[in-house]
């Protein structure tokens, strides 16, 4: 069946593709046309166009692992092969079902015309344009709730210095804070970024005055949750010294005051920790609907999560499921904590119990270690980088923000996977290069129930849509053209040509069956979703029709009405029989 023999009829269906306020799911709503193709004698090829419906948070049986390999000098290694890697799931070796070596994408080369399609009269092809699509999305998340003034001043200056030297036109940067004040969404505008950095200041909430007893954050946890004898005694004797001049007959009163103070302080510490983690979760949600490579840099002195480790696991889980890397930078730099705390603060001394002074020092040092562990857990749990114990914050920002020149994509299907929602520890081993270091996600969470074929297909398409990687399992060519209707409106045409010769068909009753899902997504220059259209092409071909279509290929056109500006177009194609998938990203600039 030849393409010109098809008759197209237009219909209407109610559908849509919009990100909700939470930015976590893409759901139905709105209206879109659909198209149906019919042959003169019988339906051999049909297509229906709607707006796509994808749920980003879905269960997965195929586990994907992004791996960066570095040599002894910290340079990325990009020439390894599949057989150089071994992958272990909870210590058990797994078969790597997908492997690809990826490199940082260069600007798109000029495109050849899509076969069989002439440009529309007056249309301008993308080959005449020099637009730069976003290369990465970098979210700087400042923990202004926990950072003191001296930390804020240092990291603010370091961030300005680093970004001035490192930003390219292809970078999009956002500034977020734990307090939620002064946030800046993703932009390439340096003036906006600089202004947002200068607005950052300490915004901790809670009591700032010194109290007696002086109950430390970790100490309050030990008193309330662990009933630690030393922690209780230290607070008790401090209260006795401050309020009762060390008179032992008031010891019970002092103990009651100490336990009450510990309860109040723990509540405050828990509030600040929850605020920092909640803000981090919101940043993950915002980045979930952005295309391409996405990374978060958490800048913080660290905070205690010992009372709620599950909350940290949930944050890591969300980032892992959305392929978002969290990198962390310790804002304190090279920290040498004073035995009695900061010199600027007044501290309670109990002269009659010098043995307890050493115990309190242990609590201070333990708390510092635990705060650092939180930063390490967030970074290592998502395959990110932790930078600490170093005063060169500019170097630190470079290390936690840089985009690797090369990396590897591995995938495997876990054997005998139990759908219990439990965490699985992953380990990547290099067979022939023990001196190289490996950066990768540390694990994944098993789904709580088995996914069906439809869920898996939606997941694959969502992952491919919100990516800028070139996927090429099916030969695909994409070209864009635009035609200005007037000074305010333009028609943007996206032409996709699919070579079906590599697609496998299933033979039933003399017909060759398969279907293609073709998705075209339009983003603005900062990667924000604008519009999307999905077309399902059903093949029900006789042998002679399949032969003719294999020679010509299948060409589809999608049109959008847009305003002048710079846009990214993402085209993704997937077939149902072989589950093969291809994806290309194009940039088009429509002048005013």
Q: Where are the beta strands (DSSP E) in 144-259?
A: 171-177, 184-187
Average pLDDT of the chain, as a whole number: 81
Classify residue 170: in a domain, yes or no: yes
The predicted structure's pLDDT at residue 62: 73
384 closest CA partner among 298, 462, 445: 298
Asked if residue 493 belongs to a domain, the reply is no
Give the pLDDT score at 123: 65
Residue-wise pLDDT tens digits, 86-118: 999 999 999 998 888 877 654 444 445 556 555
Q: Tell me: the pLDDT tens digits for 164-202? A: 998 888 889 999 999 999 999 999 999 999 999 999 999
pTM over 0.75: no
Closest CA to 581 of 465, 410, 413, 453: 465
Residue 324 tokens read as 């978002």
Q: Does position 133 have pLDDT exceeding 90, yes or no? A: no
pLDDT-based confidence at residue 130 (cuts at 50, 70, 90)? very low
Confidence of residue 210 (pLDDT cuts 50, 70, 90): low
- Confidence at residue 405, expressed as pLDDT on a 0 to 100 scale: 77
The reported pLDDT for the residue numbered 380 is 82
Instruction: Look at 80-84, 417-421, 583-587 and tell me which has the smallest mean pLDDT.
Output: 417-421
Domain residues for the domain of 365 are: 136-211+214-401
C-alpha angle with apex 400: 397 to 404, nearest 5 degrees?
125
Binned at pLDDT 50, 70 and 90, residue 17 comes out as: very low
| Per-residue pLDDT at 10 exceeds 80 | no
Q: Give residue 565's region: left, alpha or beta (phi > 0; psi -120 to 50).
A: left
Q: Judge whether 155 lies within some domain.
A: yes
* Alpha carbon 11 to its chain's center: 38
pLDDT at 205: 65
> Lowest-confidence range among 37-51, 74-88, 200-214, 534-548?
37-51
> Which residues lie across from 554 on neighbouring strands?
498
DSSP-derived pairing of the beta strands 293-300 and 136-142:
parallel
pLDDT at 353: 74
Predicted confidence band of residue 316 (pLDDT cuts 50, 70, 90):
confident
Cα gap 281→317, rounded to integer Å: 10
Domain assignment present for 194: yes
The per-residue pLDDT for range 412-429, each reduced to its tens digit, is 889 888 888 788 899 999
Q: How many domains does the chain have?
A: 1
SS3 readout for 408-433: EEEEECCCCCCCCCCEEEEEEEECCC
Average confidence (pLDDT) over 10-23: 30
Residue 237 lies in a domain: yes
319 belongs to a structural domain: yes
Q: Is the pLDDT confidence value at 40 over 60?
A: no
Mean pLDDT across the stretch 562-573? 91
Task: Quickly state the pLDDT bin for 204 (edges 50, 70, 90).
Answer: confident
| Residue 261 in domain | yes
Assess if residue 368 is contained within a domain: yes
Listed residue (554, 469, 563, 551) closest to 518, CA to CA: 554
* Confidence grade of residue 269 (pLDDT, cut at 50, 70, 90): very high
What CATH number did the domain enclosing 197 receive?
Answer: 3.40.50.410
Q: What pLDDT is attached to residue 250?
A: 94
Is residue 296 over pLDDT 90?
yes
Tens of pLDDT, residues 434-445: 899 998 877 777
Kindly report which listed range (150-154, 193-197, 285-289, 499-503) carries the lowest average pLDDT score: 285-289
pLDDT > 70? residue 9: no
Please compute the mean of the pLDDT values over residues 332-360 and round it to a whole number.
67
What is the predicted pLDDT for the residue at 31? 31
How far apart are the C-alpha atoms of 325 and 286, rounded to whole Å?
Answer: 13
At residue 186, the pLDDT reads 93
Q: Which residues contact 67 (CB under 8 A, 6 or more apart)?
A: 85, 407, 408, 409, 410, 428, 438, 439, 440
Q: Is the pLDDT of residue 351 over 60?
A: yes
């Amino acid at each position: 069946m030849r393409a010109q023999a098809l008759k197209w009829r237009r219909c209407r269906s109610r559908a849509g593709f919009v990100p909700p306020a939470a930015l976590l799911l893409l759901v139905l709503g709105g209206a879109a046309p659909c198209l149906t193709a019919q042959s003169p004698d019988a339906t051999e090829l049909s297509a229906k166009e709607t707006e796509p419906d994808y749920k980003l948070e879905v269960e997965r049986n195929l586990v994907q692992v992004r791996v960066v390999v570095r040599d002894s000098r910290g340079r990325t290694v990009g020439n390894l092969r599949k057989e150089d890697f071994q992958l272990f799931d909870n210590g058990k070796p797994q078969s790597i079902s997908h492997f690809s070596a990826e490199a940082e994408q260069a600007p798109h080369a000029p495109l050849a015309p899509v076969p069989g399609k002439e440009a529309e009269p007056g249309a301008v092809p993308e080959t005449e344009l020099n637009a730069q699509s976003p290369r990465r999305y970098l979210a700087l998340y400042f923990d202004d709730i926990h950072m003191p003034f001296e930390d804020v001043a240092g990291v603010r200056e370091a961030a300005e210095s680093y970004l001035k030297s490192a930003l390219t036109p292809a970078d999009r940067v956002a500034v977020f804070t734990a307090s939620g004040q002064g946030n800046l969404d993703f932009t390439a505008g340096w003036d906006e970024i600089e202004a947002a950095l200068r607005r950052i200041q300490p915004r901790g909430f809670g009591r700032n005055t010194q109290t007696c007893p002086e109950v430390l954050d970790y100490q309050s946890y030990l008193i309330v949750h662990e009933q630690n004898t030393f922690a209780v005694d230290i607070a008790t004797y401090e209260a006795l010294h401050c309020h009762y001049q060390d008179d032992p007959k008031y010891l019970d009163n002092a103990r009651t005051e100490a336990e009450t103070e510990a309860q109040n302080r723990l509540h405050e510490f828990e509030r600040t920790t929850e605020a920092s983690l909640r803000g981090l979760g919101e940043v993950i949600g915002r980045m979930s609907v952005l295309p391409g490579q996405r990374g978060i840099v958490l800048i913080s002195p660290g905070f205690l999560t010992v009372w709620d480790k599950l909350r940290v696991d949930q944050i890591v889980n969300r980032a892992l499921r959305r392929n978002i890397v969290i990198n962390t930078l310790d804002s304190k730099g090279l920290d040498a904590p004073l035995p009695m705390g900061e010199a600027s603060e007044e501290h309670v001394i109990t002269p009659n119990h010098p043995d307890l002074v050493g115990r309190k020092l242990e609590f201070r040092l333990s708390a510092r270690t635990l705060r650092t562990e939180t930063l390490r857990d967030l970074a290592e749990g998502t395959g990110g980088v932790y930078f600490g114990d170093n005063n060169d914050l500019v170097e630190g920002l470079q290390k936690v923000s840089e985009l690797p020149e090369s990396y590897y994509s591995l995938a495997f299907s876990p054997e005998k996977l139990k759908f219990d929602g439990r965490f699985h520890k992953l380990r990547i081993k290099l067979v022939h290069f023990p001196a190289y270091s490996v950066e990768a996600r540390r694990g994944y969470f098993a789904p709580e129930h088995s996914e069906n074929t439809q869920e898996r297909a939606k997941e694959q398409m969502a992952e491919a849509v919100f990516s800028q990687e070139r996927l090429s399992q099916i030969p695909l060519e994409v070209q864009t053209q635009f035609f200005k209707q007037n000074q305010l409106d333009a028609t943007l045409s996206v032409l996709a040509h699919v070579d079906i010769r590599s697609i496998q068909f299933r033979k039933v009753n003399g017909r060759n069956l398969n279907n293609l899902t073709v998705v075209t997504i339009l983003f603005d220059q900062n990667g924000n979703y604008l519009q999307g259209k999905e077309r399902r092409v059903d093949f029900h071909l006789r042998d002679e029709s399949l032969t003719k279509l294999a020679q010509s290929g299948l060409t589809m056109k999608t049109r959008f009405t847009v305003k002048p500006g710079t846009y990214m177009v993402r085209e993704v194609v997937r077939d149902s029989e072989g589950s093969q998938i291809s994806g290309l990203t194009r940039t088009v600039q429509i002048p005013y």
